[in-house]
A and B are shown apart, each in its own frame.
Chain A
Amino acid sequence: NAGVTQTPKFQVLKTGQSMTLQCAQDMNHEYMSWYRQDPGMGLRLIHYSVGAGITDQGEVPNGYNVSRSTTEDFPLRLLSAAPSQTSVYFCASRHRDRGTYEQYFGPGTRLTVT
């Protein structure tokens, strides 16, 4: 299994540009989520999904959209990039209702908005 994969690894955007961060998992996990990590802030939840067709907002959803058309994929869209969105983005997944709860993380996407 490849686990959780994210692309791209690095990205530089200009203010106002849009882009999509890709996330895929091959573990048939129902639950997927996106976090951003900023220095001294830990990880903050942006959006999450408990299954295909179901998404919900996390702690810091403004400026981001998500969709979940398949179990495997959970892309994160930046609608109009702002310098405040400069961060490292992590995608994670886990099973639901298995009693384990541990999340599996991707390697991250480092985004810089100028």
Chain B
Amino acid sequence: SQQGEEDPQALSIQEGENATMNCSYKTSINNLQWYRQNSGRGLVHLILIRSNEREKHSGRLRVTLDTSKKSSSLLITASRAADTASYFCAYEGNFGNEKLTFGTGTRLTIIP
């Protein structure tokens, strides 16, 4: 399977702390994206990083990409209770078929 893997599978931190989750993948990619899923809901797109980019910021989110290691990380700074959710990486391989392959997800719990 080409499915991406994420670690940790679950993460609990105190409100105000930073949360870091990691994603590894197995193929060459065009881009890598991060999505958030609140319990019982659909996924919401957070941020996209292209294969020729190394770092990207959006508000309290910082994404890095290391194509030589086939890995990415998502950092959420100054966490809030509302950040409690599952986070998934998803990458588009450069096979020309536009398919998006998802990782297995990290369940983040912010303790107030």
Chain A residues engaging chain B, CB cutoff 8 angstroms: 4, 31, 33, 35, 40-45, 48, 50, 56, 58-59, 90, 92, 96, 100-108
Contact = CB atoms under 8 A, between A and B. Distances in A.
11 contacts: A42-B104, A42-B105, A45-B99, A45-B100, A50-B98, A59-B101, A100-B48, A103-B33, A103-B90, A107-B41, A108-B42
Given A42-B104, A100-B48, A101-B92, 9 more contacts: A40-B9, A43-B43, A43-B88, A44-B3, A45-B99, A101-B31, A103-B33, A104-B45, A108-B42
Contacts of B33: 101-103
Given A42-B3, A43-B88, A56-B97, A105 B102 contact: no
Contacts of A48: 98-99
B102 A42 contact: yes
Nearest to B105: A42
A37 B95 CA distance: 24
Main secondary structure of the interface of B (DSSP, over half): strand
A42 B45 contact: no
* Secondary structure type dominating chain A contacts: strand
Interface of B: 1, 3-4, 9, 31, 33, 35, 40-45, 48, 88, 90, 92, 97-105
Contacts of A100: 48
Contacts of A44: 3, 102
Nearest to B6: A42
Nearest to B86: A42
A59 B100 CA distance: 10
Contacts of A92: 43
A33 B92 CA distance: 14
A4 B14 CA distance: 34
Which residue, B4, B42, B92, B97, has most C-beta atoms of chain A within 10 A? B42
Given A96-B98, A101-B33, A101-B92, A42 B42 contact: no
B100 A40 contact: no
